């Protein structure tokens, strides 16, 4: 059986690339297809693949501004030739799921979300904060992308969603059912810490929908020390907002981030996420999470005073500075109720070996069904 792996782009190690690593382990001989590859940006396990890129790779300045070429992505993914493959496993949040597959091949899509730029997060990317030319030109472009995204869902035999939230979105956007298999956290990377220093932590790409601005403003108001790890287009604005107790650290190595998790008092997670790997990494380190109470974190965190399980976090119900400030104050009043060992135990349900087993079982089951047809 010849296997092709398809991933939107390879520009850094985020949650999607951690999933791709597992797919590479499951299929060590598989070839990898992607729109764009920045050499050295992903792990050796992924870099060691035979990687085929699209014409997007050759566009000027693409490494720094690849998202600007979004209207070209459907054409780029459509030019790949997978005629030699029996199984296609795509991991998609943009266009990877739209790759053409031969009639006799099985296509499984591990879906992070339908194309977020033109569905649920259109306003965050192309709304009032975008340049006027983008706001003027994007509505017809986005409409075309939505039509393409919906139509190419038919190229997928079975969807696997990263959360119940995404499964609902797949049903709404594509009219398709999806099995849910949660992404992994690699517990081996994190050490249980029962000590903490007096700082809060944000680990995030600095893009609008992550709402890191709420964490910065809340820390300013409360005079709390806040460390922000990450980079992105929002960085200049956040630096301008940051008071004397807020420090933006930029990008950091995996080892440095692991150390910060171990030392922090709690992790702030103010964005609406399809799943959210950061809360799992915090819990794997024995640290509680203060999160916006919608999205994927509802499926991973155990909120204070809701249910019989030991709590792993506190939710706030509105994406406002006032709501986050209130949640931080509630945490400070109840910090003694969070057990590092219970937090770690909760993260164990999402450990990487379990993810690998679940994906392998799903692929085997779907292949057997497909082979009988």
Copy the structure tokens of residue 7.
């991933």
Q: Is the pLDDT of residue 275 over 70?
A: yes
Q: Is the pLDDT of residue 77 over 90?
A: yes
More confident site: 46 or 61: 46
| 208-256 pLDDT, tens digit each | 889 999 999 999 999 999 999 998 889 999 999 999 999 999 999 989 9
User: Sheet containing 226-229: which strands, arranged edge to edge?
Assistant: 246-250, 226-229, 200-203, 266-269, 289-292, 313-316
Contacts of 23 (CB under 8 A, 6+ apart): 5, 30, 89, 91, 110, 359
Distance (Å, rounded) from C-alpha 100 to C-alpha 83?
9
Please, is 9 exposed, middle or buried when counting C-beta atoms within 10 Å of its C-beta (0-12, 13-18, 19+)?
A: buried
| CA-based nearest residue to 88, from 97, 76, 77 | 97
How many other C-beta atoms lie within 10 A of the C-beta of residue 79? 10
| 78-130 pLDDT, tens digit each | 999 999 999 999 999 999 999 999 999 999 999 999 987 777 765 666 665 66
Instruction: Read off the pLDDT of each residue in 157-163 and give the average, rounded to a whole number.
Output: 97
Instruction: Read off the pLDDT of each residue in 140-163 and give the average, rounded to a whole number.
Output: 93
Domains located in the chain, CATH noted:
3-184+351-372 (3.40.50), 187-348 (3.40.50.2000)
Instruction: Read off the pLDDT of each residue in 275-287 and give the average, rounded to a whole number.
Output: 96
Least confident of 55-69, 152-166, 347-361: 55-69
| CA-based nearest residue to 229, from 207, 210, 205, 245 | 205
Distance (Å, rounded) from C-alpha 169 to C-alpha 190?
32
């Amino acid at each position: 059986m010849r296997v092709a792996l398809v991933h939107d782009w390879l520009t850094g190690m985020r949650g999607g690339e951690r999933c791709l690593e597992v797919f590479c382990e499951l299929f060590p001989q598989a070839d990898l297809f992607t729109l764009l590859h920045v050499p050295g940006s992903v792990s050796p396990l992924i870099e060691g693949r035979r990687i085929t890129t699209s014409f997007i790779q050759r566009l000027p300045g693409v490494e720094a501004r690849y998202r600007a070429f979004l209207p070209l992505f459907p054409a780029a993914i459509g030019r790949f030739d997978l005629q030699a493959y029996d199984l296609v496993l795509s991991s998609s949040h943009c266009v990877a799921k739209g790759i053409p597959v031969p009639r006799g091949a099985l296509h499984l899509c591990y879906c992070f979300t339908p194309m977020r730029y033109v569905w649920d997060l259109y306003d965050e990317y192309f709304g009032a904060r975008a340049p006027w030319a983008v706001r003027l030109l994007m509505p017809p472009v986005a409409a075309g992308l939505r039509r393409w995204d919906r139509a190419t869902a038919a190229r997928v035999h079975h969807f696997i969603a990263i959360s119940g939230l995404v499964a609902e979105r797949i049903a709404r956007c594509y009219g398709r059912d999806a099995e849910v298999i949660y992404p992994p956290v690699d517990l081996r990377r994190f050490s249980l810490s029962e000590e903490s220093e007096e700082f809060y932590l944000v680990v995030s790409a600095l893009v609008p929908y992550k709402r890191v601005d709420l964490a910065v403003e809340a820390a300013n108001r409360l005079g709390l020390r806040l460390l922000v790890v990450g980079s992105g287009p929002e960085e200049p604005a956040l630096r301008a907002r940051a008071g004397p107790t807020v420090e933006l650290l930029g990008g950091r190595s995996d080892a440095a981030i692991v150390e910060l998790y171990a030392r922090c008092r709690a992790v702030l997670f103010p964005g609406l996420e399809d799943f959210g790997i950061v809360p799992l990494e915090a819990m794997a380190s024995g640290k509680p999470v203060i999160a916006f109470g919608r999205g994927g974190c509802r499926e991973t965190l155990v909120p204070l005073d809701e249910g019989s399980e030991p709590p792993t976090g506190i939710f706030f119900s509105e994406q406002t500075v006032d709501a986050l400030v209130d949640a931080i104050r509630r945490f400070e009043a109840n910090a003694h109720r969070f057990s590092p060992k219970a937090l770690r135990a909760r993260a164990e349900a999402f450990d990487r070996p379990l993810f690998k087993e679940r994906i392998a079982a799903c692929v085997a089951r779907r292949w057997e069904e497909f082979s009988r047809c």
